[in-house]
Amino acid sequence: MIKEMGGTIRTKDVLSQGIHRRTLYHLRDKGILTELSRGVYSLTSEPISNPDLVTIGRRVPQAVICLISALSFHNITTQIPHQIYIAIAKDATPPRIDTPPLSVHKFSGEALTAGIEEHQIDGVPVKIYSIEKTLADCFKYRNKIGLDVCIEALKLYKARKKINIQDIIKYAKICRVYKLMTPHLESIL
């Protein structure tokens, strides 16, 4: 059953199948399962490529990976995220998760819904903003993550040679950073 779910499972999935918690804990104690986060387990024999993103995909499926975490996923930063950056709806209650540490950002309207891509990471669907939307978000949150991170990401994006300037402009307008991004786009791209 766990292999069919991509090698990870939640406690509630086990309970819904009629399996008792003690069985789950017994498998964990024997080393067959590894606890990724409270209520999320993976098969020890099936290594997880990105356990933090898999945990978010399982525990907070409505969240969207954003900012430095999205830059890291898309390989356009040298920054190592020490927490997972997620975007949730403005009126949503922030998730209570100990592991992995989170940096929660509240978005609304089109800033929340535009540019979402769903990626399968070890069989788990994870919502992540597209590269172009992530670049616009980074400029929007430049005071929190640093303008140098934004400029570095633009340079690495250009090095990929798959530049979609129309999407960058579209998302920059949605995030209300078009005028701010324009001089950087002109100098780098």
Span 157-178, pLDDT tens digits: 999 878 899 999 999 999 999 9
Same domain, 109 and 62: yes
Per-residue model confidence as pLDDT tens digits over 55-91? 999 999 999 999 999 999 999 999 988 999 999 999 9
Token pair recorded at residue 8: 């990870």
Query: Are 112 and 163 found together in one domain?
Result: yes
Looking at per-residue confidence, does 105 or 5 come out higher?
105
Tell me which of 85 and 35 has the higher pLDDT.
85
| Strand positions, DSSP E, 30-95 | 33-37, 40-43, 64-65, 84-89
The per-residue pLDDT for 66 is: 97
28: containing domain = 3-48
Task: Name the band, by pLDDT with cuts 50, 70 and 90, for residue 45.
Answer: confident
Q: Do 131 and 153 share a domain, yes or no? A: yes
Q: Are residues 56 and 31 in the same domain?
A: no
Query: Do 44 and 56 fall into the same domain?
Result: no
The two three-digit tokens of residue 50, written as one number: 């990105």
Round to whole Å and give the CA distance between 139 and 178: 9
Question: Considering the chain, what is the average pLDDT of its residues?
Answer: 91
* Shared-domain flag, residues 164 and 105: yes
- 183/153 same-domain check: yes
Same domain, 78 and 126: yes
Q: What's residue 163's pLDDT?
A: 87
Are 39 and 87 contained in the same domain?
no
Structure tokens at 18: 């009629």
Task: Report pLDDT for 35.
Answer: 87
Main-chain dihedrals φ then ψ at residue 99, nearest 5 degrees: -130, 125
Segment (H or E) for 188: helix 178-188
Count: domains in the chain: 2
Task: Give the model's pLDDT for residue 108.
Answer: 94
